[in-house]
Structure 1
């Protein structure tokens, strides 16, 4: 409501002070030279303040259920949220492969005084530290210690799953302690392993001596990896429908890429030759290009056996991607840096720099 007061002044005409007060709003006060202007101001400003007050009241009413929803979410168990996310259509294949391991260790790591698996409310910095320490004590299937890179992926997936759960409930995502603050300095294992020409010949000889019908597909898998820079999962799960050989193009669906974005990979003459060899081995009714090989995890383990038998030290299938990208930068001179990034699926230049591990002797050869 509005209050209008006359302010008398010595030897001067009176002024009129208007104050409008509406519950929930700060009072508005103005002074005028005459009563008419004071009345007009009160009549104009009072409805505006009432409108503002009503809008704010409605906003608060909407927020109350959401705040209650956030509190309810914080009481949900982390392992149950991860389980729901794993069977949802929103999780990627890469995430689904990691989730069983994540869920297993989430159930093992508990904060003081917790009964059963921790709720989101109990995901504190202390819990985060315990998870990292527990993972560093455990062994992978290959009997190696979980790397900080893998643990980082775990924490990232947990954060994504919790955000997904909040979106399902149409509430703001809570701030949680899924961070890398408990990692040591310089924890990132930036690999620079390359494959020399001699090592490649030896590895190919080992694969060629393999007595199994899958021998040729193992060899072509490795050669395609070196020619395209594609990831293990993208190659092993490749489907014939993804290839347009007359157009020299391989279109990898978003569901099979790490960044969940479709990627077009142009095929070189060598890559086309490899694809024709694979085409001659294709089976009717089986759409997989590498139908003689297993799933990505088993292929990774199988490749490791070939590496070990060859006698190569510290070499992984993913290092073929490093080698392929390094060769593209060195020898595919008609391609710009940004074109190479598009082919291999790098979103920023720093990632390409990390993968292109150029040797000094290779650079020296290009000086003259």
Structure 2
């Protein structure tokens, strides 16, 4: 379906942002000066995306009609399997977001072509490619790619009632200590500089950028959960944000209690809510473009090696340090961690902070 949103501009006429979403297809977003142009564009693109979705659906049905044999499975193209998996209900939003990058690189190989040499070459190719913000792909991201391809092949075997095949999606060629777990925290001076840059922004979305950052620090929520949040998920009287399963990484409903600061931020955002638009941060784009936009603010503020996801690390660290009424398991429930080891990974406590708590 297509959504058209008015985007006000200071001292200029509003622009109109068209967002077209069709199940199984990458969303298309484009901004126009006139609403009628946005509507015409939406009709054309929506029709094209629906046609592509129908063609892919027919292709997979043709595959399913073939006699299900191991030989037949091994002759299927890896890209068709990954694409079908990411369009299925078995995949999560992260898989769908990552799939286009995988599909641009894997080519037209079949499962029998997934050899140890192919695996090694895939890793090497990804290490030379650039992300949207100009950095190279990390080993952590490449590990996710390999995991998605492996999950897709297991899923495909299950749909054909065949035994899962051991394919060469291996991290054998990763260097030692490749995980490079993030420990980046946000210092008080850095936070003040970043807030100043966000407040100085001239765009109509300035207030939403500022409050997006503040809500990330207050809730520890992920970028996607915040950016796609809708007003009906919030009960400000009960101080509760209920995130639907479809928006969480673990695909489970999560209840996030709101601090008094978070309530104040949400009340501020309510003042610029628009009738007919359910999104809280409706002036911001989709998660990927918001991540890129945040990187520009970070650069302008002079912060080195800081990402939006580091706000989640900072928020969780602050919860562990200062929300003393909350138990470890309560914090895990709030931020969506399924085991203590993950909480330990995110709670990067500084020595000076611990020293202050000794007396």
Counterpart-to-counterpart distance in 1, 2:164 and 2:230: 37
Residue 67 of structure 1 and its aligned partner are, at CA, apart by 10
Q: Structure 1 stretch 246-255 or stretch 88-97: which is displaced more?
A: 88-97
In the alignment, what sits opposite 1:281?
272
2:74 touches 2:111 (CA, 8 Å); kept in 1?
yes
In the alignment, what sits opposite 1:77?
77
1:102 to 2:102 alignment: yes
Residue 346 of structure 1 and its aligned partner are, at CA, apart by 0.9
1:163 to 2:166 alignment: no
SS of the residue 2:156 aligns to = helix
- Once the two structures are superposed, residues 77-104 of structure 1 have per-residue CA deviations (whole angstroms, 9 ceiling, x without a partner) of 1011112223333322221111111011
2:68 touches 2:162 (CA, 8 Å); kept in 1?
no
In the alignment, what sits opposite 1:223?
214
In the alignment, what sits opposite 1:87?
87
Which of 198, 206, 224 lines up with 2:189 in the alignment?
198
SS of the residue 1:247 aligns to = coil
Which of 251, 261, 273 lines up with 1:270 in the alignment?
261
1:330 to 2:324 alignment: no
What does 1:240-319 correspond to in 2, within 5 Å? 240-319=231-310
Counterpart-to-counterpart distance in 2, 1:250 and 1:68: 46
Residue 68 of structure 1 and its aligned partner are, at CA, apart by 5.6
In the alignment, what sits opposite 2:20?
none
- Once the two structures are superposed, residues 38-81 of structure 1 have per-residue CA deviations (whole angstroms, 9 ceiling, x without a partner) of xxxxxxxxxxxxxxxxxxxxxxxxxxxx9962221111110111
Which of 118, 122, 147 lines up with 2:138 in the alignment?
147
Q: Structure 1 stretch 241-250 or stretch 187-196: which is displaced more?
A: 241-250
Gaps of 5+ in 2: 1-65
Quick check: which has more Rg, 1 or 2? 1
Counterpart-to-counterpart distance in 2, 1:247 and 1:159: 43
Higher relative contact order (CA 8 A, sep 6+): 2
Residue 248 of structure 1 and its aligned partner are, at CA, apart by 1.2
Residue 354 of structure 1 and its aligned partner are, at CA, apart by 1.1
Q: Structure 1 stretch 66-75 or stretch 152-161: which is displaced more?
A: 66-75
Counterpart-to-counterpart distance in 1, 2:190 and 2:222: 20
What does 1:38-57 correspond to in 2, within 5 Å? none
| Superposed CA RMSD | 1.5
2:132 touches 2:292 (CA, 8 Å); kept in 1?
no
- Once the two structures are superposed, residues 215-255 of structure 1 have per-residue CA deviations (whole angstroms, 9 ceiling, x without a partner) of 11111000000000001111000011211222211111111
Counterpart-to-counterpart distance in 2, 1:67 and 1:363: 63
- Give the TM-score normalised by the residue count of structure 1: 0.77
Aligned length: 294
Counterpart-to-counterpart distance in 2, 1:272 and 1:224: 9
In the alignment, what sits opposite 1:339?
330
- Give the TM-score normalised by the residue count of structure 2: 0.79
